[in-house]
Structure 1
Amino acid sequence: MIRCLVVDDEPLALDIIADYIEKVPELSLSATTTNAIEGLGFVQQGNIDLVFLDVQMPELTGIQFLKIINGKCDVILTTAYPQYALEGYELNVTDYLLKPIAFDRFYKSVQKVIGQKNQAKNKHTFADQPQSNKVTDFIFVKTEHKIQRIDYDDIYYIEGLKDYISIFTSNERVITLQNMKRMEETLPEERFIRVHKSYIVALEKIESIERGRISLRDKIIPIGDTFKDAFYKRIGEKNS
């Protein structure tokens, strides 16, 4: 089953592609979103095989999206503007669908993806496995002026505030408009754990735990009552 994500700032366009996906047995709809930054989060989790991606979107264009994910999964561009076709193909998109998209053209495009994945499966080599299975050790977040890469190894802890989060790394504080739940889902659970409604910490950066508080670097972080049992169970498993 090919897990699909649809990213388009037009809700009607999302509904049309989602409906088409439901009609193809080999496809499974994982998520739809009108927010390109949220779409990046889905891809970074490694659970998406194919993205149907609009080109002209606010904050982040489809071309910028392609450059950031860098081949992590297959992409079919969906747009009303044919002038982006060449740049899309230069970035190795599987196909380019012009709106309004008819189902027969959609189905033909999907067959390319299915054929490519079947060929890769038959070769039985690591190099030819679908790129969506590759593990990344970093995330991209949108700051006020740019989209920034942050390596997992550099993260000490993450603090959630009302409308944004702060990521504290070995050498800087990065502020991004994102909620804690989405960040918690994006980060690899074997390396990070939520210990409070406002804090996620890197397990390997914990220096000590005393009286319900975590020390790491120059920060003391409280362990929330809601998260206490899961945290101490996790620590116990790591020490067993």
Structure 2
Amino acid sequence: MSASNEPNMLNCLVIDDEPLAIKLIEDHISKVDFLRLVGVNTNPLEALIQFNQQPADLIFLDIQMPQLNGVQFMQLLQNRAQVIITSAYQEYAFDGFEHNVVDYLLKPISFERFYRAVEKAMKTANPAARLPAAPDLYPATGGYIFVKVETRMVRVELDDILYVEGLKNYLSIHTRTQRIITLQSMKQMEEALPPNRFIRVHKSYLVALDKINAVERQEIHIGSTIIPIGSTYSENFFKMLNRLKA
């Protein structure tokens, strides 16, 4: 049963023990016409009480939390709301889908990926609903992501990113002012960054298109840094470059 009185609106509850991760989801929710934020909580036990007092249609749920993890929370929830898992860890995906979650979003969560998940939730809740036109998923400037650095979630402005370098199991995000090391895969980062502004050019490199100073043969120049263009990614990169040139 839907908690919302409006058939074309989903009331949302966000549960995550990282306040900055909550902030990102709040920001994404604010951009979607058919979502309404009704509560946030960093404590899953308190969130369960909160839900019982004020039911929600859709819950954004972190998996790794103290006192009560996301899987235990879903067991207590007993399918009384749709759930979208938000996690920095791929290995919990199976647990999530065992509980019929709508989607499993890997942090850092791009707006484009977020929107696909909530669109699925809305169609499940109300198959006949006519969804409004999608907001601009890929603005040319602005925006940010959160990445995990040790025990903290760190905000990174998209406009500041020069390129991302793969370091085995870690990534090094090179910005105008600093270098940020985060434990995640290049694929996760590629999915989190808007494809009109960032492109994979090598198995170990993602670059910001607007930060490229020059391209010479199979090399990209960003400031004093020279980045190789891998043969697997070369055709796609030069196609993108030609579109920008036009």
TM-score bracket relative to the smaller structure: 0.5 to 0.7
Correspondence 1:70 to 2:26: yes
Aligned to 1:172: 178
Match 1:83 to one of 19, 25, 46: 46
What displacement does 1:95 show? 7.1
Residues 1:86 and 1:206: Cα distance change in structure 2 (over 3 Å): same
TM-score scaled to structure 1, two decimals? 0.56
Distance in 2 (CA, whole Å) between partners of 1:67 and 1:205 is 28
Structure 1's unaligned 5+ residue stretches are 1-19, 21-25, 27-48
Q: 2:188 aligns with which of 182, 189, 193?
A: 182
- Give runs of aligned pairs for residues 1-240 of structure 1, distance below 5 A: 55=15, 61=17, 65-73=21-29, 74=35, 82-84=45-47, 99-103=75-79, 105-106=80-81, 137-240=143-246
Q: Distance in 1 between matches of 2:240 and 2:134?
A: 32
Report percent identity of matched pairs: 34
Between 173-182 and 61-70, report the one with greater CA deviation.
Answer: 61-70
- Deviation of residue 65 (structure 1)? 3.7
Take 1:207 and 1:71, find their aligned partners in 2: how far apart are those partners? Answer: 32
Contact 2:21 2:146 in 1 (8 A): no
After superposition, the C-alpha distances for 1:56-83 in whole angstroms (9 at most, x for unaligned) are xxxx627664334225235788999643
Distance 1:195 1:130, change over 3 A: closer
Secondary structure at the aligned position of 2:146 is classed as strand
Q: Do the aligned residues in 2 keep the contact of 1:79 with 1:98 (CA within 8 Å)?
A: no
CA offset at residue 102 of structure 1?
Answer: 3.7
In the aligned structure 2, how far is the partner of 1:215 from the partner of 1:138?
24
In the TM superposition, residue 218 of structure 1 has moved relative to its aligned partner by 1.6
Instruction: Provide structure 2 residue ranges, at least 5 long, that are not aligned to the other structure.
Output: 2-6, 30-34, 60-72, 83-120
Q: Deviation at 1:190?
A: 0.5
Question: Alpha carbon RMSD of aligned pairs, Å?
Answer: 4.4
Q: How many residues are matched? A: 174
Counterpart of 1:221, as a letter, is I
Query: Does the 8 A contact of 2:18 with 2:42 survive in 1?
Result: no
Structure-2 separation of matches of 1:200 and 1:134: 17
Whichever structure has more helix as a proportion of its residues is: 1
TM-score (structure 2 length as normaliser): 0.55
Secondary structure of the structure 1 residue equivalent to 2:236: helix
For the 8 Å contact 2:163–2:175, the answer to whether it is kept is yes
Are the equivalent residues in 1 in contact too, given 2:12–2:58 (CA < 8 A)? no
How far apart are residue 214 of structure 1 and its match? 0.6
Change (3 A) 1:193 1:130: closer
1:186 CA displacement: 1.0
